[in-house]
Structure 1
Amino acid sequence: MSSPGALLENYYRELVGFLSARLGNRHAAEDIAHDACVRVLERDATTAIEHPRAFLYQTALNLVIDGHRRSLRRKAEPLEVLDLDERFFMAPPQASMDHHQQLDLLSKALAELSEPCRQSFLLRKLEGLSYIEIAERLNVSRSVVEKNIVNAMKHCRLRMRESAPL
């Protein structure tokens, strides 16, 4: 039985290729594969995964379907509604405070990461660079970039959960 980490190692690139062929967009495929791997790694491990490859692929396909549904809902709303929503939405003060607290927690979690891990994560999430572009910029392999980003996501989510009110 493979551990979730081995699942990521064995099937990640294959999954990116599969999704890329179906979506016609490698960047989107990498994002979905990454999110699927994070979900698999974060799942409650009380039940063993009998068919790890199928489980990972199904998780990724579910993410594709969810994204498609969100996209359809957004397209169905008239532009005037979206414009009104954005122009007149005002978050309550408490929500703003919670947002600032979350940003502070995220900043602290990122500061706990190694420099290469933090750089990989920020280059991907803030600058939108591909894994290959990040690997070239940091002079590391694509595999190292993938691992760094997954580790950064796991670490940040763990820290956010630890700080969440019960």
Structure 2
Amino acid sequence: MEQYYQGLVGYLTARLRDRNMAADVAHDAYLKVLESPRLNGLEYPKAFLYRTAINLCVDAFRRNVVRHSEPLNDLIAEECPRRQSPQASLYELQRAEMVMVALDELSDKCREAFLLRKLEGLCHEQIAAAMGISKASVEKHIVNAMKHCRVRVFEMEQHSARAKR
């Protein structure tokens, strides 16, 4: 397993843009993988290691988003007061909340593939390697996530419009 360490740190550094953070995540991923009861039966240990590291990054990102959501909204409001009306800003926030609800309704793998593509900017091959699934499965998950979000946001907007009448 040690032979993957430098590659993993390089991979994470490119994604996180911080070598120290990448090394910390790689270290945590190694600990999780080495403590895993499935370690001896893994067919693709490198893919499992990368997937674990990406999961740790996604978890940290989610914690960071929750922790910084209010100041970020304040920053956006201060930065663009003339570009958007309060109604447009409210609409965008409501729409973002609808997307979050829709994402929470997805299966874990579907949501993970979608977030790795849209938030991390990984290509389908990288996502497939990280998740230990085929490229076709990644494509299927991303398409399904996009369709689901589009349909659910539309449904929620329709419901909201009917409620206002």
Please give the TM-score of this superposition, normalised by the length of structure 1.
0.46
Which has the larger share of helix?
A: 2
Larger Rg: 2
